[in-house]
């Protein structure tokens, strides 16, 4: 079918068959479709949607538009597993989860991204570590996945190239929010990594990517269904993002928090609970644990023994970072010249956060990007953030600002205080794990 006829068919609400979708994606990848045609196709999909079969076909075509990693020649002793998050504030799960699962026998080739809008990016956090390369050669990447069990890097030009062009067009044609396009973009890249199983972390709340709890649930269910039908068993969790997941937001400050969890300095909290739950699902779907109790027991033993921290250290050193990061983090991680407290203006209970606004405060400090080419300041951010439900007294510290200058710190303080609600009565603590959706491959 001619591309214009396929676009017309979708515009008119017809379903496209897998062959037509594959041809369209090939045209996106090799330039056979012009930008006007790609934009028209994206708008037709945005307005008319896609059924499950079409979304699976689109996902598979994007996956197959470039290299699909094959691990069979490495004789890996465990399954190839990965996790993806829709993003949030203080969400440094990947830094802890990847080495933790590797210490339990999994192999995690994690292709991660940079910050987008108010959400932090895993690559930006890792680049706060001096020397850490997110663009290693393929041989180094494969060696680390085999020998260490984990490597967290950026997307290469060979993986899902159709998605890169399609997303760029969506970004300037007001079609980013299309569910089939979101799902195929996420999964096309992830499934190109040759996974045996995938776990998704879909956020719900004021800092979530999706605007409502209902939209988050629809995304989670669709991802689990489409990925499984494309041959990769997938579990999707709906987790809370009504406040920062960790008690910090930034880049170097989040690396420090990851080290605190991995080394046992931090033994509780929302970050640990969500990461532990996601990791348990990865062990179960990957066949490394028969059930949840045995998965949790294995995880707890590997964390307590230092094995997870050791995997993180080996990954960092293998990708060019300092070999003694665990022992000398303060010597290697950057620090901001201005550190000041944010104090409560009144007494009461912390009742709500505008989590997106907190993320944007970090962006304005320099910890994120206003435009794609902006440089990141790895040292700035927020730390020691109080949790929802806490009783605070007037003048009590609510967070610490790490800033490049006093005026920037003052602005961040105003933004932080405007983003929270303090009331006379406490609200129920937000549910951390809303639901778990499991799908097996056919």
**Residue 359 · residue 243 · CB < 8 Å:** no
Look at strands 338-343 and 249-250 and give their pairing.
unpaired
Token readout for 150 is: 């984990």
**Residue 24 · residue 160 · CB < 8 Å:** no
**Residue 81 · residue 98 · CB < 8 Å:** no
One of 10, 118, 165, 170 is an active-site residue; which one?
170
DSSP labels for 279-315?
HHHHHHHTTS-SSHHHHHHHHHHHHHTTHHHHHHHHH
One of 84, 270, 276, 302 is an active-site residue; which one?
84
Look at strands 381-383 and 249-250 and give their pairing.
antiparallel
User: Helix (H, G, I), strand (E, B), or coil: what is residue 175?
Assistant: coil
- Residue located via tokens 């045209």: 27
| Three-point CA angle 378, 380, 384, nearest 5° | 120
**Residue 249 · residue 362 · CB < 8 Å:** yes
One of 22, 63, 190, 298 is an active-site residue; which one?
190
One of 55, 86, 94, 122 is an active-site residue; which one?
122
Q: Is 190 a catalytic residue?
A: yes
Q: Is 122 a catalytic residue?
A: yes
- Residue located via tokens 């435009």: 371
**Residue 159 · residue 195 · CB < 8 Å:** no
One of 20, 22, 65, 82 is an active-site residue; which one?
82
Torsion of CA 85, 302, 325, 342, to 10 degrees: 60
Q: Is 84 a catalytic residue?
A: yes
One of 10, 63, 83, 217 is an active-site residue; which one?
83
SS3 content of the chain, % helix, strand, coil (to 5): 45, 15, 40
User: Helix (H, G, I), strand (E, B), or coil: what is residue 3?
Assistant: helix
Q: Work out the number of other CB atoms within 10 angstroms of the CB of residue 376.
A: 22
Token readout for 167 is: 């997303």
One of 10, 125, 189, 298 is an active-site residue; which one?
189
Q: Is 185 a catalytic residue?
A: yes
One of 85, 119, 175, 232 is an active-site residue; which one?
85
One of 20, 55, 185, 235 is an active-site residue; which one?
185
* Rg of the Cα atoms in the chain: 22
Question: What gap in Å lies between CA 69 and CA 195, rounded to an integer?
Answer: 9
Q: Is 156 a catalytic residue?
A: no
Residues that are catalytic: 82-85, 122, 170, 185, 189-190
């Amino acid at each position: 079918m001619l591309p214009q006829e396929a676009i017309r068919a979708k515009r008119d609400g017809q379903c496209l068959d897998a062959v037509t979708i594959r041809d369209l994606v090939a045209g996106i990848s090799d330039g056979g479709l012009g930008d006007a045609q790609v934009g028209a196709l994206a708008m037709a999909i945005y307005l008319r949607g896609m059924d499950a079969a079409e979304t699976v076909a689109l996902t598979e075509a994007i996956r197959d538009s470039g290299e699909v990693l094959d691990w069979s020649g490495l004789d890996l002793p465990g399954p190839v597993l990965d996790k993806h998050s829709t993003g949030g504030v203080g969400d440094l799960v990947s830094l802890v989860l990847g080495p933790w699962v590797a210490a339990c026998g999994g192999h995690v080739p994690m292709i991660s991204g940079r910050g987008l809008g108010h959400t932090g990016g895993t690559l930006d956090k890792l680049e706060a570590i001096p020397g850490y390369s997110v663009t290693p050669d393929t041989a180094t990447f494969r060696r680390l996945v085999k020998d260490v069990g984990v490597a967290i890097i950026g997307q290469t030009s060979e993986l899902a190239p159709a998605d890169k062009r399609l997303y760029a067009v969506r970004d300037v044609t007001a079609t980013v929010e299309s569910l089939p396009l979101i799902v195929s973009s996420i999964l096309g890249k992830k499934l190109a990594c040759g996974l045996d199983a995938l776990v998704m972390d879909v956020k719900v709340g004021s800092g979530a990517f999706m605007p409502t709890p209902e939209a988050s649930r629809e995304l989670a269910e669709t991802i689990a269904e489409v990925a499984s039908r494309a041959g990769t068993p997938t579990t999707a969790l709906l987790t809370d993002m009504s406040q920062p997941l960790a008690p910090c937001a930034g880049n170097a400050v989040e690396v420090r928090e990851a080290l605190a969890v991995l080394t046992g300095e931090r033994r509780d909290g929302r970050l640990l609970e969500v990461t532990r739950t996601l990791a348990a699902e990865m062990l179960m779907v990957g066949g490394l644990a028969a059930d949840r109790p045995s998965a949790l027991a294995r995880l707890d033993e590997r964390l307590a023994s230092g094995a997870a921290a050791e995997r993180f250290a080996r990954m960092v050193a293998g990708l060019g970072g300092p070999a003694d990061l665990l022992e000398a983090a303060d010597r290697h991680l950057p620090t901001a010249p201005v550190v000041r407290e944010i104090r409560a203006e009144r007494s009461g209970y912390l009742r709500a956060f505008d989590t997106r606004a907190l993320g944007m405060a970090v962006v304005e400090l320099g910890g994120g990007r206003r435009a794609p080419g902006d440089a990141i300041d790895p040292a700035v951010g927020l730390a020691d953030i109080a949790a929802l439900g806490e009783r605070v007294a007037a003048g009590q510290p609510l967070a610490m600002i790490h800033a490049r200058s006093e005026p920037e710190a003052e602005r961040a303080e105003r933004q932080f205080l405007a983003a929270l609600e303090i009331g006379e009565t406490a609200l129920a603590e937000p549910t951390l794990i809303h639901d778990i959706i499991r799908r097996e491959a056919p």
